């Protein structure tokens, strides 16, 4: 006998840990089945775009760090590309290689966070998350060597990067590159054939390619639906046109595909990092660094000296930047979560007249209702985790 139920609407968040930040969801249930979902945000609104219009062009970089705060390097990169377009300048080649190397390490670190917390949402308490964080910590150690910071890095600058990599960075990077395949294999063995992971993610939260394109989603969420679209391939920036890498895609666009695509992208990011490393050798050895460590790196690779071993990492620009009045630019990158872009307009002053951010987390969140209606509460938590949002760039 069917039991008659009344729809009930409940709030989930904005403090619940499984909402991945201060996101509030108004969810209407018929029994246990979701019949409607309304995302409510704005609890983290910090006015980043307005604040950017009150700071000079270099100072704005610290605001970009705090958008997607687990992917600060790519935030820096998108903003710097927009400023460079306004100024009509280009970063030196060595600076571009360092940018891409840092951005791809950041992509791997961001995807590890997404994977770890997705599995935490699924109910695998602590162990897979710690596997992912152990790998990510090694990447953050490299960031600390590059710029002295681990999370909000402010490493890149209009015209290049803040400084060259110190000599001791290269042995540490080589160590990570040797260890990374084992760390990824260990993670895959733990997860990819796990019966609970498969049952809870396969054919759950399916997003068709047509719906994904119509909703303007991007990044792994789009590629998991079978659309091989990546701005690093479609409109290469910095030195991506010099590099070889593949664009992983899914088949069904379900929770499993979104999770699997990110793991495959970590592999491709490390492949890019390896190419960048092989093109740019360490610079001159500082007096306080053991020269034998640098010799060990070159001996491992067995390479002759290359022209990109030294050289400028940042273009010569004025201390205070003043793009010409009326100049405007749209700087776009393939960030870990999708298309991240800055639209800047200049009035000739030292600060942007207008700054508008196209954040992938906000756009990708728009498909949430389509993914959740018809499923149950436990499926909702996992599906939200599979989108991989960051409220810092949703609210801005």
Is the model more confident about 1 or about 246? 246
User: What is the SS3 assignment for 57?
Assistant: coil
Using only C-alpha atoms, the chain has a radius of gyration, in whole angstroms, of: 22
Q: Judge whether residue 191 has pLDDT over 50.
A: yes
Question: At 118, which helix (H) or strand (E)?
Answer: helix 93-122
Q: What is the 3-state secondary structure (H, E, C) of 224-291?
A: HCCCCCCHHHHCCCCCHHHCCCCCCCCCCCCHHHHHHHHHHHHHHHHHHHHHHHHHCCCCCCCCCCCH
| Preceding omega of 14 cis (within 30 degrees of 0) | yes
- Give the pLDDT confidence score for residue 46 in this predicted structure: 86
Q: Which two tokens stand for residue 270?
A: 């490390």
Whole-angstrom Cα distance, residue 182 to residue 263? Answer: 13
Q: pLDDT for 352-386, tens place per residue?
A: 999 999 999 999 999 999 999 989 988 999 999 89
Confidence of residue 250 (pLDDT cuts 50, 70, 90): very high
Please give the share of the chain, as a percent, with pLDDT higher than 90: 69
- Give the pLDDT confidence score for residue 152 in this predicted structure: 93
- Give the pLDDT confidence score for residue 287 in this predicted structure: 45
Of 386, 110, 341, nearest to 250 by C-alpha is: 386
Domain ranges of the chain: 38-360
Of 65, 360, 58, nearest to 230 by C-alpha is: 360
Q: What is the 3-state secondary structure (H, E, C) of 350-375?
A: CCCCEEEEECHHHHHHHHHHHHHCCC
Q: pLDDT for 279-318, tens place per residue?
A: 887 544 444 555 565 566 556 555 544 556 678 899 999 9
Classify the C-alpha dihedral 368-369-374-375 as positive or negative: positive
For residue 107, what are the contacts with CB-CB under 8 A and spacing of at least 6? Answer: 71, 74, 265, 266, 269, 335, 336
CATH topology of domain 38-360: Cytochrome-c3 Hydrogenase; chain B (1.10.645)
- Give the pLDDT confidence score for residue 284 in this predicted structure: 46
Confidence of residue 21 (pLDDT cuts 50, 70, 90): confident
- Give the pLDDT confidence score for residue 286 in this predicted structure: 44
If you average pLDDT over residues 103-123, what whole number do you get?
91
218 alpha-carbon distance from chain centroid: 12
Q: pLDDT for 64-86, tens place per residue?
A: 999 999 999 999 999 999 999 99
Confidence of residue 2 (pLDDT cuts 50, 70, 90): low
């Amino acid at each position: 006998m069917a039991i008659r139920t009344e729809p009930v609407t409940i709030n989930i968040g904005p403090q619940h840990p499984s909402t991945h930040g201060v996101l509030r969801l108004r969810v209407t249930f018929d029994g246990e089945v979701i019949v409607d979902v309304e995302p409510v945000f704005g609890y983290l609104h910090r006015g980043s775009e307005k604040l950017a219009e009150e700071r000079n062009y270099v100072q704005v970089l610290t605001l970009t760090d705090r958008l997607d705060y687990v992917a600060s390097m790519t935030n820096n990169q998108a903003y710097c590309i927009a400023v460079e377009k306004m100024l009509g300048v280009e970063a030196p080649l060595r600076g571009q290689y360092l940018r891409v190397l840092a951005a791809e390490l950041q992509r791997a670190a961001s995807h590890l966070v997404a994977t770890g917390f997705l599995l935490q949402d699924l109910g695998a308490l602590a162990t897979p998350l710690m596997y992912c964080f152990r790998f990510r910590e090694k990447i953050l150690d490299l960031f600390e060597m590059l710029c002295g910071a681990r999370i909000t890095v402010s490493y890149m600058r209009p015209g290049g990067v803040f400084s060259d990599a110190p000599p001791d960075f290269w042995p540490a990077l080589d160590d990570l590159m040797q260890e990374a395949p084992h760390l990824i294999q260990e993670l895959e063995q733990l997860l990819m054939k796990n019966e609970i992971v498969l049952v809870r993610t396969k054919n759950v939260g399916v997003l068709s390619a047509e719906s994904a394109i119509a909703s303007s989603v991007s990044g792994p969420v789009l590629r998991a639906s079978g659309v091989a679209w990546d701005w690093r391939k479609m409109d290469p920036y910095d030195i991506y046109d010099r590099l070889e890498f593949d664009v992983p895609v899914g088949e069904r666009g379900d929770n499993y595909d979104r999770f699997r695509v990110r793991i495959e992208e970590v592999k491709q990011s490390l492949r890019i990092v390896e190419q960048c490393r092989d093109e740019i050798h360490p610079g001159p050895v500082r007096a306080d660094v053991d020269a034998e460590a640098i010799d060990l790196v070159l001996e491992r690779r067995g390479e002759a000296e290359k022209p990109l071993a030294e050289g400028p990492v940042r273009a010569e620009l004025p201390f205070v930047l003043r793009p010409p009045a009326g100049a405007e630019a749209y700087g776009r990158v393939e960030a870990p979560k999708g298309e991240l872009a800055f639209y800047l307009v200049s009035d000739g002053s030292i600060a942007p007249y207008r700054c508008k951010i196209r954040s992938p987390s906000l756009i990708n969140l728009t498909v949430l209702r389509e993914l959740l209606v018809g499923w149950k509460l436990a499926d909702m938590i996992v599906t939200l985790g599979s989108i991989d949002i960051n409220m810092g760039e949703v609210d801005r």
